[in-house]
């Protein structure tokens, strides 16, 4: 699987496709989030697949187990590469999500991952608002363990927890890390960020990069810079 997914954080397919074509980013792996998917529906997945993109569908499902099961059964027909749920939904919900993926008409290549602690959260948020008993770091590792035991393939986590999650859950357990910023770019609303180079050395398998590329003066050059910082030649 490719290592760097471009976050298509655009309000419409027209804007997303114009960005891809204008900047010669056809075929790069992409992340489709709530804004774009809820606006355009499943046909956007079909269009991206026609253009050769690997797809991470980032919907962060979090509901009662039966509802998530049926939602995943429907999503399985899209034959996407990665899809996710909130790990805070609990072990039964994650298990039912995996069952839904496997019972649908798709194939078994779709990876199910659980969101641990959002990269927009800080230690203060975790303690004062979510009132989790453990620290942010400990909570992320705990949720990763729950996700693994529930049959999922990996987690979404901060780069700063990725190495510890690998140690706790095994090297084969995927760590998908947003909050990636290229060298000399702004953090924006992310709290726990890192560069691609640091991410690779700290246990990340897959990077999700948005504004460092989409807001760049030359998005293709920025994507290529991310690849270079990650440590590959192409």
The mean pLDDT value of the chain amounts to 90
Q: Is 60 a catalytic residue?
A: yes
pLDDT mean over 175-191: 72
Question: Which pLDDT value is given to residue 234?
Answer: 40
Phi then psi dihedrals of residue 4, to 5 deg: -125, 115
CB neighbours of 211 closer than 8 A, spacing ≥ 6? 7, 9, 185, 186, 188
Q: Could you tell me what percent of the chain has a pLDDT over 90?
A: 76
Band of the pLDDT at 103, cuts 50, 70, 90?
confident
Q: Is it the case that residue 26 has pLDDT exceeding 90? A: yes
Band of the pLDDT at 185, cuts 50, 70, 90?
low
Question: Which pLDDT value is given to residue 128?
Answer: 75
Identify the active-site residue in 22, 47, 49, 60: 60
Length of the chain counted residue by residue: 234
Place of tokens 């357990």: 173
pLDDT mean over 45-70: 96
Question: Which pLDDT value is given to residue 182?
Answer: 86
Written as six digits, the tokens of 204 are 């990340």
Question: Which pLDDT value is given to residue 189?
Answer: 47
Question: Which pLDDT value is given to residue 106?
Answer: 58
Q: Could you tell me what percent of the chain has a pLDDT over 70?
A: 92
Question: Which pLDDT value is given to residue 12?
Answer: 96
Band of the pLDDT at 175, cuts 50, 70, 90?
very high
pLDDT per residue as tens digits for the range 128-137: 777 787 888 8
Written as six digits, the tokens of 189 are 């609303």
Domains and CATH numbers, the chain: 4-230 (3.20.20.70)
Q: Is it the case that residue 186 has pLDDT exceeding 60? A: no
Question: Which pLDDT value is given to residue 151?
Answer: 97
Q: How many angstroms separate the CA atoms of 102 and 77, rounded?
A: 10
Q: Is it the case that residue 193 has pLDDT exceeding 90? A: no
């Amino acid at each position: 699987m490719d290592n760097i997914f471009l976050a298509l954080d655009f309000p419409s397919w027209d804007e997303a496709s114009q960005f891809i074509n204008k900047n010669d980013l056809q075929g790069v792996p992409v992340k489709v989030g709530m804004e774009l998917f809820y606006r355009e529906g499943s046909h956007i997945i079909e269009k991206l697949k026609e253009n050769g993109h690997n797809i991470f569908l980032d919907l962060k499902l979090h509901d009662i187990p039966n509802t998530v099961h049926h939602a995943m059964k429907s999503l399985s027909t899209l034959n996407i590469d990665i899809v996710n749920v909130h790990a805070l939904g609990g072990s039964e919900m994650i298990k039912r999500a995996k069952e839904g993926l496997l019972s649908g008409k798709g194939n078994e290549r779709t990876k199910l991952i659980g969101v641990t602690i959002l990269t927009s959260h800080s230690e203060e948020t975790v303690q004062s608002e979510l009132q989790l008993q453990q620290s942010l770091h400990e909570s992320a590792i705990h949720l990763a363990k729950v996700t693994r035991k529930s049959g999922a393939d990996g987690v979404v986590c901060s780069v700063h927890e990725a190495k510890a999650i690998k140690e706790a859950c095994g090297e084969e357990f995927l760590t998908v890390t947003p909050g990636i910023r290229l060298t000399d770019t702004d953090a924006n609303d992310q709290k726990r960020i890192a560069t691609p180079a640091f991410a690779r050395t700290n246990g990340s398998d897959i990077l999700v990069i948005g504004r460092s590329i989409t807001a760049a003066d030359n998005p293709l050059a920025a994507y290529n810079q991310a690849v270079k910082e990650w440590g590959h030649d192409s």
